[in-house]
């Protein structure tokens, strides 16, 4: 699943492919926004951990991964 995280005062968003379910990601984001944890912690498909301070979250967008286009085919 694709997760986009907007961070306050940062010009670019963080984009990662997560193996977690949408429900798990939503629960972790809700806990961070409610103040139950200081950090939003997500793990991508390669096992790398992404930590974002909860008080710096601007938005979190959950979506399905876009299929990667390969080759020089016409659209």
pTM of the predicted protein model:
0.78
pLDDT in tens, 26-73: 999 999 999 898 999 999 988 999 999 999 999 999 987 656 667 776
List own/partner pairs for 57-60 with CB under 8 A and 24 or more apart: 57/5, 57/6, 57/7, 57/8, 57/29, 57/32, 57/33, 58/6, 58/7, 58/8, 59/4, 59/5, 59/6, 60/3, 60/4, 60/5, 60/6, 60/25, 60/29
CATH 2.30.30 given to domain 1-61: yes
Determine the pLDDT at residue 8: 95
């Amino acid at each position: 699943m694709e997760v986009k995280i907007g961070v306050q005062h940062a010009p670019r968003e963080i984009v990662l492919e997560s193996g977690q379910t949408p429900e798990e990601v939503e629960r972790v984001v809700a806990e961070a926004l409610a103040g139950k944890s200081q950090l939003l912690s997500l793990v991508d498909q390669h096992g790398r951990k992404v930590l974002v301070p909860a008080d710096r979250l601007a938005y979190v967008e959950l979506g399905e991964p876009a299929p990667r286009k390969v080759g020089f085919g016409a659209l």
